[in-house]
Chain A
Amino acid sequence: MSMRQQLVRTVETAMATDERLTLLLGDIGVFGFRNAFKNFPERTYNIGILEQATMSLAAGLAAVGYIPVVHTIASFLIERSLEQIKIDFCYQKLCGNFMSVGASYDYSALGCTHHSPGDVSFLKAIPGMNVIVPGSDKDFDELFRNAYSGPNANYFRLAEVGHSLDIPVVFGRGEKIRDGKDGVVVAIGPMLEKVIQACAKIDVTILYYTTVAPFDSELLFATVKNEKVAIVEPFYEGTMAYDVISSLRGKSIELLSIGVPRKFLTNYGLISEQDVFCGLDVLSIKSKLEGLFNVKS
């Protein structure tokens, strides 16, 4: 099941048991959520294409006791209404859930207006904002049920291409996937399977994070000695660098960030083609990690 299909299933299931949940769609996913419109018409709105007012409106709903779930394309959900998220939700300490579609270059053929590799960077600058990056449909289901009712606002960054692994995840906690001797590789959300494949012949510890804010510093601190650390992130490279460095205060490390290059991606084509262009396909990741860990292929 795709993460977006899981989004529909999970949210509709939660709406059936929690009458506070209110769904606001930015004229997207309307067919997918047809059962929500049918079963919970008083709490399901195709609100329209007006993200700034929608986000403030959602905060107003939260102020009178509802738990809003706002869903639209990542660049408009987060970047256009960033100030509304900051002021109306986080500063006012209100709970809401923002569910994106179109992570980084998922809308590869639509070009830069629909790309959002900066979303997590922007949100991580807001105190108290939870940022959740599920790697799979199962991750999303678990993490949504963990976090949706607050107290903080949550961003669920849904990706078109996830992994097929079955990893138990908990909101706010990283997971150790395997132990190794030569260093540590941190995989964020959908990058896990690629990291595991890339590290098939590299003897490193692999950590898996699906919540990037708040960041599980304890796991990283307990895992990393004085050694080399790589982080493979599905958004702008370096987005997690502050978290890694501040988590490892007092330790001497060499850090490599592998993520989306910080430039406009002006090509089109397939997600897989953008992966190669951005160096986020398995072979490119493997090559970069071999360089860091001095492994000859």
Chain B
Amino acid sequence: MRKLREKVITISTNAKEGHIPSALSVLDLMWVLYDRILKVDPTNTQWPDRDRFVLSKGHASIGLYVVLAQKGFFPMSELENFAKFDSILGGHPDRNKIPGVEASTGSLGHGFPFGVGMALGLKMKKSASRVFVIIGDGEANEGAVWESALLASHHHLTNLCCIVDYNHSTDRALQIGDMEKKFNSFDWETCTIDGHNHDEIFEALQKNGGHEPRAIIAKTIKGFGCRQMENNPEWHHKYPKHEELLTLLEGLR
């Protein structure tokens, strides 16, 4: 994980772009998903029976890119082009450019209902594929998130798992409160985990079946692993200067 974190910070530094702390907040979640849970094939990204993953909080894209590259969806060298004019890798993921990306996200509150639609469609097809969506707690300010929660439970989308990256970054604006209780009130099956503990993540993600969609409230730290950035709002959308890079990398967990 340290190498992935290093990559996130380095490509952002080189590109002078990127939401590093958001990417580090969800990096462990996405790594466990791609490494141990998702049925996906980097050599056949349109395989109909694949699982689907949607990074609804699209600004954490660099985290997704380093995981996809590590898993062979595109060459690692592509990361060096992040945010360049003709790159496939932008500040938010684009499904029409990037192998393995299922939804173009960035505008908060879109990816979750998009995932609900995919889950409904896969259920209609009687597919065994699952749909995983990561939303942010700040994103959960959006009304469409709760419209989606209502729709998913109403249609008993047991093939859908929503992971809430609960890093409290927007508490300063609007406190979202007890997310497990909220999803429970929408008739979701829920659990709360340490969003940086791979065993807990795996255990929560592998649970399948049940009668309702599943929400995993992942307690995370924005900027996790980089001491200078952890829970430091100053870094939300700021790239390191080259002279800062070495210090940041040396301080990585």
**Chain A residues near B (Cβ < 8 Å):** 22, 42-43, 47-48, 50, 52-66, 83-84, 87-88, 91-93
Contact = CB atoms under 8 A, between A and B. Distances in A.
A22 B147 CA distance: 20
B124 A87 contact: no
Given A60-B114, A64-B121, A92 B96 contact: yes
A56 B110 contact: yes
A52 B143 contact: yes
A56 B114 contact: yes
A43 to B, nearest CB: 7
A250 B151 CA distance: 53
A106 B171 CA distance: 44
B30 interface: no
B151 A88 contact: no
Interface residues of B, number: 31
Interface in B124-182: 124-125, 143-144, 147-148, 150-151, 154
A53 B125 contact: no
B147 A53 contact: yes
B121 A56 contact: no
Of the candidates A43, A57, A87, the one having the most CB atoms from chain B within 10 angstroms of its own CB is: A57
A66 B95 contact: no
A195 to B, nearest CB: 40
A53 B117 CA distance: 9
Given A56-B113, A88-B110, A88-B114, 18 more contacts: A43-B124, A48-B150, A50-B147, A53-B150, A53-B151, A56-B116, A56-B144, A56-B148, A57-B116, A60-B103, A60-B113, A60-B114, A60-B120, A63-B95, A63-B118, A64-B117, A64-B121, A65-B125
Contacts of B107: 83, 87
A61 B121 contact: yes
B61 interface: no
The 10 A-B residue pairs whose C-beta atoms are closest, nearest first, are A60-B117, A53-B147, A56-B113, A57-B117, A64-B121, A53-B113, A50-B147, A60-B118, A60-B114, A61-B121
Contacts of B114: 56-57, 59-60, 63, 88
14 contacts: A42-B124, A50-B147, A52-B143, A53-B148, A56-B113, A56-B114, A57-B113, A57-B116, A61-B118, A62-B117, A63-B114, A64-B52, A66-B121, A87-B110
A62 B167 CA distance: 32
A137 B111 CA distance: 36
Contacts of B18: none
A61 B120 contact: yes
Contacts of B109: 52
A129 to B, nearest CB: 16
Nearest to A55: B113
Interface string B36-66: 0000000000000000100000000000000
A57 B120 contact: yes
Contacts of A63: 95, 102-103, 114, 117-118, 121
Contacts of B125: 64-65
Nearest to A92: B104
Interface in B90-115: 95-96, 102-104, 106-107, 109-115
A61 B131 CA distance: 12
Of the candidates A43, A54, A83, the one having the most CB atoms from chain B within 10 angstroms of its own CB is: A54
A64 B104 contact: no
Nearest to A43: B124
A61 B117 contact: yes
B151 A47 contact: yes
Of the candidates A59, A60, A84, A88, the one having the most CB atoms from chain B within 10 angstroms of its own CB is: A60
